[in-house]
Structure formats: structure tokens, C-alpha cells
Amino acid sequence: MAKRIHGRLGVVVPVLNEVRGLRLLLEDLAHQTLPAEMYEVMVLDGGSSDGTAEMVKQMVEDVPYRLQVVENKGTTVPHARNLALDLLPDDVEWLVELIGHVRVDMDHLEHRVVAWEEAEAEHGPSLAAMGVRVLGPLERTGRVEGWVDAALRSPFGRGGGQFAAFHEAGPTKVPAFAMHRRSAVKDVGGWDPSWPTSQDSDLSMRLLEAGGVLLRDPRPTVRMDRRPTLKHHWRMCVRYGYWRGRLLRRHPSRLDPREFLPLFGALLTSMLWFSWPSVAWVPVSAYVVVIGGEGVRSVVRDRALSHAFGVPLALLLLHAGFTAGLLQSTFGSPPRARDR
């Protein structure tokens, strides 16, 4: 490993009732190839009732790195990250974003450091954040989680943000699970607590506006659990759509036209229905063929027969929920802040 980085990493993990998944993540972090003295982990608990905080306290003596759990009285993710920004020791120069329902490989932190060193050699101190590639879980806990995972891996479901598929390092507006330069985050005022969702996108846009460089690298990966029920999947899609709409009003340059295709399709179908009913079935049929084809492709790829109808259903809920959230961002109030 190169020696360009002299400070340490602070792994910041906001949680709420994630005792099982968090234990697995902390165990993953205990087996890193990066020397334990180069990083520490801060868990920020937003009011768990399942024993999450107690479990972390019990693990403090069992892991090789410095581990602490802090009460997040603000409860939300931006409150947690700002709290870590203030409380971590001064020699922690980089903040690594993780959450309680992800898993990482044993070389995860080392890959982050190497990727940062290589990028900093080119961009210098203007390098503000480096994102990773997000994958689905190694083991799915249920049938619906498999449908959701396949939908998010589909080119019609993953988009260009957190679930983007990429294989080469390069610039991005939205680095997923980023490693941030602590001083760069402080310079733009940290995370905005008024954003319970999309707070990372808001921060990224402010970093870009301040002249920062944001990159992503495929070598460090994060495996993220998917929603276990269609109800949870729908809520996630509506929430993401709502806060994306709000984000676009504050940062128009974040616009991704692909995210508006379902809305465009719905408007086109409605217009045809009233003006030329005989051809209104054309865009509907084309959509059914596309998402149905994704279901068939997933059956072949994942060898799961239920994907034939489950993946199209998950894609339909993704497109409809995100679009409903976009519209709600203009005319309605935000979804529940604690809905994760």
C-alpha cells in the first residue's frame, strides 16, 4: 500500500433498529486488511428499541479497532453524520459512509485508501469524495428481496445514482457510500439536517459547486440488503422520488432525464387515450413487453421462476412509486422521515 495518506479513517454508521445486520458489518470491519490503527468506527444510534446500542457496547472489547456507540438525539442520518464530524478525533481526516444493513469484503477499506491515493495523485487537495460500487446481498432472506434486487440490477431500474453499474473509475455527481475529505465537508457546512433522505446528494452538489472533485471507483464494493416486502419497496421508491424532486429544485444540475421517463410515458398514454384512443395501447404494450422481458431475462440469469412475474412487478412499483414521489414533492408533504 502507498503511504500518501497519513491521517486515519472514521467509519460512520447511522443506525435504527438494525442489531442483526450491524453485528455482521462490525464483524466484517474486524477482519480488514487495512491495519486496525488506521481506522475507527462510530455507530450513531437514532433511538433503537431492539438492543442495537447494547450489542455495540458488548462488541467494543472484541474488535481490533476503536469502536464506540453514540446517541443520535437528532435521530436522522444527517444529524448522525454531523455529530460524527464534530466528535471524531482530529487525526481522522477521512469519513467513510456506511449503514447498518450492508456488508463489506475484508479488503474494502484498503481498496478505498488505494483508490483515494491514486486519484489524489492526479487531483490533489480538490479531491473531496470517492464513491464505491453497490451490489446486492450475497444471501437473500426472501423471494421478494430477490425480485427487488433483480429490478435494481436491471438497466430499467438502477439509474445513474446509488445503484449505478460501472466498471471503471471516473467522475460522478453522486458517489455512493462515499469516503469524504473531512475538511471539504466542513468547508461547505456539513450535511443539511433538513434532508432526511438525499442528504448525500445535496452535500455532493454543494461540494461540486465549491470546486470539489467527486469520483467513484469500482474496486471497493458494498453489498446492500434489499427491501424484504413490496410495501417497503414501494415506500422506498416514493421517498426517493419525493426528495429527488425537492433536490432538483435546489440543484437543477442534478437532473437525470431517465428518471422522468415513466412520467413521460404516463402523460403520453393519457394524451393518446383522449385524442387517439385506438393507439393508446401502443406505449402500454411496449412497456409491458420491456418489463416482461426483464422478468424472463432474470429467470434465465438467476434461475428463479418466480422472477417472471416478480421482477416486472418490482419494476412497475419502482417506476410508479418514484413518479408518485416526484409529483408529491410539488403538491404534497414529505413521507415519514423515519421510514427506512
Residue 139: the pLDDT is: 76
Reported as a single tens digit per residue, the pLDDT across 290-326 is 999 999 999 999 999 999 999 999 999 999 999 999 9
- Judge whether residue 2 has pLDDT over 70: no
- Judge whether residue 101 has pLDDT over 60: yes
Integer Cα distance of 224 and 100 in angstroms: 9
CATH, range 8-239: 3.90.550.10
Q: Determine what percent of the chain is predicted with pLDDT higher than 90.
A: 81
- Judge whether residue 276 has pLDDT over 80: yes
> What's the whole-model pTM score?
0.89
- Judge whether residue 338 has pLDDT over 70: no
Residue 5: the pLDDT is: 61
CATH 3.90.550.10 positions along the chain are 8-239
Residue 339: the pLDDT is: 43
Provide CB contacts within 8 A for 203, sequence distance 6+: 185, 188, 190, 191, 192
Helices 281-302 + 261-275 axis angle, to 10: 140
For the segment 122-133, the average pLDDT, to the nearest whole number, is: 96
Integer Cα distance of 81 and 196 in angstroms: 12
Reported as a single tens digit per residue, the pLDDT across 155-205 is 998 776 677 778 899 999 999 999 999 999 999 999 999 988 889 999 999
Integer Cα distance of 310 and 115 in angstroms: 37
- Judge whether residue 331 has pLDDT over 90: no
Closest Cα partner for 151 from 331, 323, 301?
A: 301
* Phi, psi of 140, deg, nearest 5: -90, 140
Integer Cα distance of 236 and 195 in angstroms: 15
State the DSSP string of 90-103: TTEEEEEE--TTEE
Phi-psi category of residue 81: left, alpha or beta, with phi > 0 → left and psi -120 to 50 → alpha: alpha
- Judge whether residue 63 has pLDDT over 50: yes
Q: Which residue has the higher pLDDT, 198 or 70?
A: 70
